[in-house]
């Protein structure tokens, strides 16, 4: 049985103010994950 | 002075060309060989396919940009590789065929000091009987041209629904070993969003069909993410979204044939089933381009360069799933036989899939191929450029740069509806792309970097990425500050 999106989650997903801060957070997170570097895996 | 030839001008090829031009002085020659006249930002094809963006917003012509930047551009398609040259040319060259203008059909030998093969995949619609876009009620969003036709057909379907007709929509993978589930996932959510906008959602039964063992596999063997601080699997996330939007799903399905409005598929349990539809968007299998390679004397050496896609520094030893390691994945994207040839992005042959391979009771392999689109394509292209420059500067003493997909983060922003105020997207970041169970025994990935989020902000991010990456591709001032 799949989980349901709750009313609170749905409100948060559409709320402009909350989403503005999520926008800042997501951009920072993406930048951090993608730009923090890459390398090899073998010794 | 070195001559660098780049085959392909997609995400990977164009990224390579841009960095080569930025990093190398004008005494070096950069040549791009591509059959396409336009650069296209493929992730936005989804929005073309639902009529929310025009094709012209996602493409721009390559020729004027390359002319302005002093890059030689040949509109042709590579057909054969001669890494040792021949009796006439004493260095490696590529045989290419012009695709346009008066020279159409004529061939040209393009010699090189370094070759970057960024030819991407061949969209192998032919691998599934009846899956040609525009036939049998199926469409595609793999190219902007396909996506335009998809919208035309969807628009006609919406008109029928407005007239009271009930329809069936089927979206997913069109081959037992297809990849790019993410694109189909985005498309199904966007179609559902648009049907709501046109107030005809109640007239459609929407079904997802996929070769994934569980939803949310995405060809990456699934993932465990942190969503709102809590652990959640990709399966939980995808099922929650589908359940919320009333989308039914068929998983573990290997599509093998399409007839007019009917898809035929085999399940992992070995059953043969069918599903009817009025509008279908099914992602085809990806394959190599069938290039041939020859030595100096004309002997066939295709197996030294290609395993479907191009052979690079991966470990291609055949071994069972349990013995796969992250070290199998390539680090430098250099061909082991010819050190001046590289293949970033989708052009390199993966050592194996990321998802667990499974076969049906009838012996049919039904599981996703590994994705290498988007960020991995761009990052591996940058790694290859660094390596070419290192080889130019230091020759045999060069220390090659490494960028394994097992030590590389990526983000996927899957649009689930267009609109500045009413749009939404599922944003996922993963690190690494290929799970490393030695480093992260629990889930194979760094949980601090592997997160998920749903909401309007994701749509804004995807829209921002659209404009940023087109700006970057046009090589406008400070484009290089935007990471891959």
Assign 3-class secondary structure to B410-458.
Answer: EEEEEEEECCCCCCEEEEEEECCCCCCCCCCCCCCCCCCCCEEEEEHHH
Chain A window 1-43: which residues touch B at a Cβ cutoff of 8 Å? 2-5, 9, 12-14, 16, 18-20, 22-23, 25-27, 29-36, 38-42
The residue in chain B having the minimum alpha-carbon distance to the alpha carbon of residue A37 is B408
How close does chain A come to B129, measured CA to CA in Å?
A: 34
B272-285 pLDDT per residue, tens? 999 999 999 999 99
Mean predicted confidence (pLDDT) in B449-473: 96
Least confident of B99-108, B186-195, B253-262, B366-375: B366-375
- Residues from chain B that touch A5, judged by Cβ atoms under 8 A, are 240, 244, 454
State in words which class domain B3-123+287-397 has.
alpha beta
CB B51 within 8 A of CB B155: yes
Confidence of residue B228 (pLDDT cuts 50, 70, 90): confident
Domain segments of chain B as ranges: 3-123+287-397
How many beta-carbon pairs under 8 angstroms link A with B?
101
Q: Provide, rounded to the nearest whole percent, the portion of chain B with pLDDT above 90.
A: 95
Instruction: Pick from B312, B424, B456, B465 the residue to mutate for testing the A interface (most A CBs within 10 Å).
Output: B456
Q: Do A40 and B402 touch (CB under 8 A)?
A: yes
How close does chain A come to B47, measured CA to CA in Å?
A: 20
- Residues from chain B that touch A25, judged by Cβ atoms under 8 A, are 457
- Residues from chain A that touch B457, judged by Cβ atoms under 8 A, are 19-20, 22-23, 25-26
Coil/strand/helix, residue B351? coil
**Residue B282 backbone dihedrals phi, psi, to 5 degrees:** -125, 125
Tokens of B113: 């000091």
Q: Do A42 and B331 touch (CB under 8 A)?
A: yes
Least confident of B174-178, B236-240, B374-378: B374-378
Q: Do B429 and A13 touch (CB under 8 A)?
A: no
B312-327 pLDDT per residue, tens? 999 999 999 999 999 9
The residue in chain B having the minimum alpha-carbon distance to the alpha carbon of residue A10 is B455
Residue with tokens 């194996």: B352
ipTM value greater than 0.90: yes
pLDDT score recorded for residue B372: 79
DSSP state of B404: -
Tokens of B303: 């197996």
Asked if the model's pLDDT at residue B303 lies above 90, the reply is yes
B91-106 pLDDT per residue, tens? 999 999 999 888 999 9
The residue in chain A having the minimum alpha-carbon distance to the alpha carbon of residue B232 is A3
Instruction: Pick from B457, B467, B469, B482 the residue to mutate for testing the A interface (most A CBs within 10 Å).
Output: B457
**Closest of B327, B331, B348, B337 to residue B303, by C-alpha:** B337
- Mean pLDDT over all residues of chain B? 95
pLDDT score recorded for residue A8: 93
Q: Do B431 and A33 touch (CB under 8 A)?
A: yes
pLDDT score recorded for residue B190: 97
**Strand (E) or helix (H) holding B123:** strand B122-124
Mean predicted confidence (pLDDT) in B214-223: 93
Q: Do A2 and B461 touch (CB under 8 A)?
A: no
Confidence of residue B404 (pLDDT cuts 50, 70, 90): very high
- Residues from chain B that touch A22, judged by Cβ atoms under 8 A, are 453, 455, 457
pLDDT along chain A (43 residues), means of 10: 87 95 96 86 84
């Amino acid at each position: 049985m799949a989980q349901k999106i709750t009313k609170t989650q749905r409100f948060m997903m559409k709320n402009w103010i909350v989403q503005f801060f999520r926008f800042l957070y997501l951009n920072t997170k993406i930048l951090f994950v993608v730009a923090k570097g890459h390398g090899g895996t073998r010794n | 002075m070195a001559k660098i030839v780049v085959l392909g001008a997609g995400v990977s090829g164009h990224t390579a060309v841009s960095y080569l031009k930025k990093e190398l002085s004008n005494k070096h020659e950069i040549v791009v060989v591509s059959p396409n006249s336009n650069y296209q930002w493929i992730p936005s094809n989804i929005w073309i396919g639902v009529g929310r963006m025009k094709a012209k917003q996602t493409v721009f012509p390559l020729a004027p940009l390359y002319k302005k930047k002093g890059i030689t551009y040949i509109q042709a398609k590579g057909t054969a590789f001669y890494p040792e040259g021949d009796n006439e040319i004493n260095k490696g060259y590529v045989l290419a065929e012009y695709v346009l203008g008066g020279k159409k059909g004529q061939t040209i030998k393009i010699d090189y000091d370094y070759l970057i093969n960024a030819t991407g995949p061949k969209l192998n619609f032919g691998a599934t009987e009846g899956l040609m876009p525009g036939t049998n009620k199926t469409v595609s969003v793999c190219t902007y041209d396909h996506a335009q036709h998809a919208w035309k057909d969807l628009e006609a379907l919406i008109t029928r629904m407005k007239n009271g007709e009930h329809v069936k929509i089927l979206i997913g993978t069109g081959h037992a070993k297809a990849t790019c589930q993410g694109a189909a996932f985005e498309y199904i959510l966007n179609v559902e969003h648009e049907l709501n906008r046109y107030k005809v959602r109640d007239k459609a039964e929407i079904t997802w069909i996929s070769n994934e063992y569980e939803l949310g596999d995405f060809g990456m063997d699934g993932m465990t993410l942190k969503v709102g601080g809590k652990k959640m699997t990709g399966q939980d996330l995808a099922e929650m979204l589908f359940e919320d939007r009333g989308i039914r799903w068929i998983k573990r399905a290997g599509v093998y044939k399409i007839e007019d409005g009917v898809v035929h598929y085999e399940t992992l349990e070995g059953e043969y089933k069918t599903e009817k539809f009025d509008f279908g968007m099914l992602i085809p299998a990806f394959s190599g381009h069938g290039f041939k390679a020859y030595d100096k004397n004309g002997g066939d050496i295709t197996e030294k360069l290609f395993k479907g896609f191009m052979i690079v520094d991966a470990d291609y030893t055949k071994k069972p799933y349990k013995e796969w390691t992250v070290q199998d994945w390539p680090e430098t994207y250099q061909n082991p036989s010819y050190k001046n040839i590289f293949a970033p992005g989708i052009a390199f042959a993966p050592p194996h899939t990321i998802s667990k391979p499974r076969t049906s009771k009838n012996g049919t392999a039904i599981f996703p191929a590994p994705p290498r689109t988007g960020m991995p394509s761009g990052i591996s292209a940058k790694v290859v450029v660094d390596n070419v420059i290192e080889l130019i500067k230091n020759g045999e003493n060069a220390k090659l740069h490494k960028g394994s997909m097992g030590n590389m983060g990526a983000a996927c922003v899957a649009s689930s509806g267009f609109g500045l105020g009413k749009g939404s997207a599922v944003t996922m970041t993963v690190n690494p792309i290929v799970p490393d169970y030695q480093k992260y025994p629990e889930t194979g990935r760094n949980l601090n970097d592997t997160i998920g989020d749903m909401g309007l902000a994701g749509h804004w991010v995807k829209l921002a990425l659209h404009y940023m990456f087109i700006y970057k591709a046009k090589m406008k001032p400070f484009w290089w500050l935007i990471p891959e």
